[in-house]
Amino acid sequence: MKIAIIGAGSGYMPGVIRGLLHRADDLAGTELAFHDVDTAHLDVMTRLARGMFSARGAAFTVEAHTGLKPALNGASYIFTTFRPGGLAARHLDESIPLEHGVVGQETAGPGGFLMALRSVPVLLEIASAADPGAWIVNYTNPTNIVTDAVARTTGARIIGLCDQFIGDTEMWADLLGLPFEGLEADWIGLNHATWAQRLRLDGRELDVPLLLDGLEVPGDGATPWRDPSRMAELAKALGFLPNSYSKYYFFHDEVVGELRAKGTTRAQDILAMLPGYYEQVAAESRKADPDPSRERGGGEHGEFAVDVICAIHRDEGRRMIVNTRNGGAVPSLDADAIVEVPSLVGRSGPVPLTMGALPGPVRGLTQAIHAYERLASEAAVTGDRRTALQALMAHPFVRSKHTAEHILDEGLAAHRAHLPQFG
């Protein structure tokens, strides 16, 4: 069995390697093809993986590739975890919208739209070079737009991943005073726009409205990943649990003010820490038993991806929250929409579970986000400027044709080198 990892120089790789170690027995004998365009980072992660596998006696082989074709050749699973243009491009995604009074964010809104325009052509190239029957297990963002573009326009099999629901469930366990272990939330909707009305602890259904009645809104305590105060405030208004990214929709103007006052983008903050991070990982990779930093992707990220591959490969029929074709799972969204829902994952891929309608207070918003995403996916595939403009005009953050035009013109110019479809 061969797994290709595209973007294997990513800072998130130590977590992926840990995830592979976690399932080393189930995947024994697997050949790993690491691919990246950044050879220095690829070298570090290749040496690290070999070191960690040999220290723990894991039966994996690792080959490093800079050419896409040889990496993909013969791969049954293609794990995609790259960012075209790297963090320099992310900085532009985060700063261009902000100059026009719109939240500048990696995946949500116009920033995510610009990333979709860069990510989709690369995924389409991968899909067309993949062996027939291979599974693309995709983390490249925006994960559901990428998944939609590949699923709609190629014959490739793709499943979209995001581990946000794990961190969010953990945040809600903290807020509600529940143990995280054994807590399960039915997050449904669209990637980075999911909602949970149902919570179970050790399989027992909890009374969510009652829990929210008793919830006290904590003071500030926001980190780059969590904003518990705003999440609690929102949940009390909505009557169910919101995903962390909902703050960009329901506190849009406040967040614009905060992002402007902050002065640096998240991409710049990460760029500032990355050299030290890679140095630490490189130093560990030379040790007999490497223990690399968990500063990037240190949580469940890597384990989740490897668990998804195992669920398909071993036909586990395991319940997992993934991005896949809706069918009738969430009747409030189009049947052919890519939705994020609890699914049973086995040999034929994810089978979404019937979840029922989206809750009224966010139904229209989620439908609007889907309308935007479909237009964004089409624009990213075709390179049609008018469709791209319509996508931005449809996004709930934007609400202005002229703002959409300014962001589009600046974004297309800034990212020209990564947008072959726009000529």
Which residues are the active-site residues?
245
Say which residue the tokens 């390697």 belong to: 17
Site for Mn ion in 261-300 (CB under 5 A): none
What's the closest the beta carbon of residue 165 comes to Mn ion, in angstroms?
Answer: 9
What's the closest the beta carbon of residue 52 comes to Mn ion, in angstroms?
Answer: 25
Distances (CA, A) of 299 to 16, 163, 189, 214: 10, 9, 23, 29
Site for ligand G6P in 232-271 (CB under 6 A): 266, 270
Longest dimension (CA), the chain: 59
Contact between 224 and ligand G6P per CB under 6 A: yes
Say which residue the tokens 């075709």 belong to: 382
Say which residue the tokens 């990212």 belong to: 415
Angstrom distance (rounded) from CA 236 to CA 405:
37
DSSP 287: S
Distances (CA, A) of 407 to 145, 260, 294: 19, 17, 35
Contact between 80 and Mn ion per CB under 5 A: no
The binder of 303, among ligand G6P, Mn ion, none, by C-beta within 5 to 8 A per type, is none
Q: Which two tokens stand for residue 191?
A: 């990637």
Q: Which two tokens stand for residue 105?
A: 């964010």
Stretch that binds ligand G6P, among 19-27, 43-51, 160-168, 302-310 (CB under 6 A): 160-168
The string over 170-202, giving b where at least 16 C-beta atoms fall within 10 Å of a residue's C-beta and e elsewhere, is: ebbbebbebeeeebbbbbbbbbbbbbbbbbeee
Q: Identify which of residues 270 and 371 has a Cβ nearer to ligand G6P in the complex.
A: 270
What's the closest the beta carbon of residue 57 comes to ligand G6P, in angstroms?
Answer: 31
For 56-108, where are the alpha helices, taking DSSP H only?
68-72, 86-99
Q: Which of 81, 105, 107, 323 binds ligand G6P (CB under 6 A)?
A: 107
What's the closest the beta carbon of residue 109 comes to ligand G6P, in angstroms?
Answer: 14
142: preceding bond cis by omega (within 30 degrees): yes
Stretch that binds Mn ion, among 34-42, 73-81, 154-162, 228-236 (CB under 5 A): 154-162
Site for ligand G6P in 268-307 (CB under 6 A): 270
What's the closest the beta carbon of residue 295 comes to ligand G6P, in angstroms?
Answer: 9
What's the closest the beta carbon of residue 162 comes to Mn ion, in angstroms?
Answer: 3
Q: Residue 106 class from Cβ within 10 Å (0-12 exposed, 13-18 middle, 19+ buried)?
A: buried
Q: Identify which of residues 27 and 308 has a Cβ nearer to ligand G6P in the complex.
A: 308
Contact between 164 and Mn ion per CB under 5 A: yes
What's the closest the beta carbon of residue 106 comes to Mn ion, in angstroms?
Answer: 9
Distances (CA, A) of 378 to 53, 253, 388, 389: 41, 29, 8, 11
The binder of 285, among ligand G6P, Mn ion, none, by C-beta within 5 to 8 A per type, is none
Using alpha carbons, select from 170, 149, 194, 128 the residue that is nearest to residue 339.
Answer: 194
State the residue number with the nearest CB to ligand G6P: 164
The binder of 366, among Mn ion, ligand G6P, none, by C-beta within 5 to 8 A per type, is none
For 383-421, where are the alpha helices, taking DSSP H only?
385-394, 401-414
Query: Is the Cβ–Cβ distance between 27 and 62 less than 8 Å?
Result: no
Stretch that binds Mn ion, among 51-59, 158-166, 197-205, 306-314 (CB under 5 A): 158-166
Stretch that binds ligand G6P, among 54-62, 161-169, 180-188, 338-346 (CB under 6 A): 161-169
Residues that bind Mn ion (rule: CB under 5 A) add up to a total of: 2
Angstrom distance (rounded) from CA 372 to CA 23:
38
Q: Identify which of residues 1 and 270 has a Cβ nearer to ligand G6P in the complex.
A: 270
Site for ligand G6P in 117-146 (CB under 6 A): 141
Interface residues with ligand G6P (CB under 6 A) are: 106-107, 141, 162-164, 224, 266, 270
Interface residues with Mn ion (CB under 5 A) are: 162, 164
